[in-house]
A and B are shown apart, each in its own frame.
Chain A
Amino acid sequence: MRSVSVIGIGETRMGKYPGTLKDMIREAGEKAIRDAGIDKSLLEAIYFGNFNASYWSGQSHMGPLVAETLGLDNLPTIRVEGACATGSLAFRQGLTAVASGLYDVVLVGGAERMTHESTPRITEGLASAADVDLESSVGATFPSLFALAANRYFHEYGNCRDAMAMAAVQNHANAYLNPDAQMHKLITVDIVKNGVPVAYPLTVFDCSLVSDGSAFVVLAASEIADRISGGRIVDVIGSGHAGSSLQISTKNITSFIATTNAAREAYRMAGIKPSDIDLAEVHDCFTITQIINTEDLGFFEKGTGALAVAEGKTARDGLVAINPSGGLKAKGHPIGATGLSQIFEVVTQLRGDAGERQVKNARIGMNHNLGGSAATCVINIFKRRD
């Protein structure tokens, strides 16, 4: 397998988008191609992530829609779906296609339009990412799956309600400095704990946002990246993809095996250890999920992820900067685009372009994207060129 590089990135602002699904795709896709500084004719295929436009917008067969919208009509396309890990899963397909030598240059994107829908329709669409027959139809909602994890985590490791709230506070503070973030509002631990209850102990402030958004990247074989692009190249040095059961009730819910397995693969490929990571965009669909994930990724010992937040170890100037973008919690969570929005942030940080929220001396960054009931995980590791 040969080395692959990110040569271009583009995204919309997250939140309520003033336009159609096609408008979002056009904006983010064209930004990424322009950022790469390449002629469109070099693109050979499109890998596109979308979770549920079939339900929320009545639109399927999104691949050709993307190609046509971007004036790339005759390219081969595929729509990829892996619940909340959709975006990174699309990235992984593009990555392996270029690494294998099948293509030299591909476009990877994702988009989701959600804010036009009612809360029950959004809840229902998200619940379809769980086991509908055995869990959603019993009454489980998406937040409730991770509320089950939170209560079990409290039972095994002690109540960390305040530190969970601090994770949300920190992500909001980071998003405050991110012009593409949906939330530009600082919050407090009390605001989080006293928010509208969603699924005990989670309140609305423990939950990621309902967002419109789109993000794209251009991938090229590293050996030609310099020659064809504008030279703002970030290399992909590791990638991991793992799965586990769709049912939440049959598995360990205080450590997610899909994350630990994908992390092992990614670290091994990159030849690095967790302490080498300078910043990580970590899947924070819910505050408890971020805490569990940072343990599973090897940043902190099991049972100490909450303490790490409370001690400032996850802050932008901490041991490892977690979610400098604001995360799903405050930058936004347009499901099919989220993984690519994470990658947009990691590449921006490694290029040194993150402005006020720049992590100092950012050399190696990671994105971690977890799908549905922690049933699909994709992790990618990126390194700036010295």
Chain B
Amino acid sequence: MYKDGAIFSFTVIYTPTEKFAPLAPYIIAIVDDGTSHYLVRIEEFDKTNLVRIGQAVVFSHLDADEKPVYKLA
């Protein structure tokens, strides 16, 4: 269901809801997998070198709520 793709856009969230507070700052991105666009969280990134639009990303895993987490290719 979740395919590898490229970052269409992204942001780094510094002010999260309570549930995501332990993760902050964290990155969300719109992934373009060639057919569709959807929102994912990006983990395992280098905090000193932000991701950029067009960068390749791969599906990593589903989190505890079964939401998609990706990482840089």
Contact = CB atoms under 8 A, between A and B. Distances in A.
B12 interface: yes
Contacts of A120: 17-18, 21
A152 B28 contact: no
Interface residues of B, number: 30
Given A152-B53, A155-B53, 11 more contacts: A119-B15, A120-B17, A123-B15, A139-B16, A139-B67, A148-B11, A148-B29, A148-B30, A199-B12, A248-B30, A253-B30
Interface string A130-146: 00001111111101100
Contacts, number: 95
A117 interface: no
Interface in B5-22: 8-18, 20-21
A141 B17 contact: yes
Contact of A140 (B12, B23, B28): B28
Given A123-B15, A152-B53, A139 B20 contact: yes
Contacts of B53: 151-152, 155
**Nearest 9 A/B pairs, CB to CB:** A147-B11, A152-B9, A200-B12, A120-B18, A197-B14, A249-B30, A249-B39, A148-B9, A198-B15
Interface of A: 119-120, 123-124, 127, 134-141, 143-144, 147-152, 155, 196-200, 202, 247-250, 253
A144 B29 CA distance: 10
A28 B38 CA distance: 42
A199 B13 contact: yes
Contact of B14 (A199, A247, A248): A199
A196 B13 CA distance: 12
A150 B10 CA distance: 9
B30 A123 contact: no
Contacts of B12: 197, 199-200
Contacts of A152: 8-9, 30, 53
Nearest to B24: A139
A143 B28 contact: no
Interface string B52-73: 0100000000000101100000
Contacts of A143: 15
B59 to A, nearest CB: 13
Nearest to B38: A249
Interface string B18-54: 1011010110111000001111110000000010010
Interface centre among B14, B25, B65 (most CB of A within 10 A): B14
B43 to A, nearest CB: 10
16 contacts: A120-B21, A124-B18, A134-B39, A137-B65, A138-B28, A140-B39, A141-B15, A147-B13, A149-B9, A151-B11, A152-B30, A152-B53, A197-B14, A198-B14, A199-B15, A253-B9
A134 B65 CA distance: 11
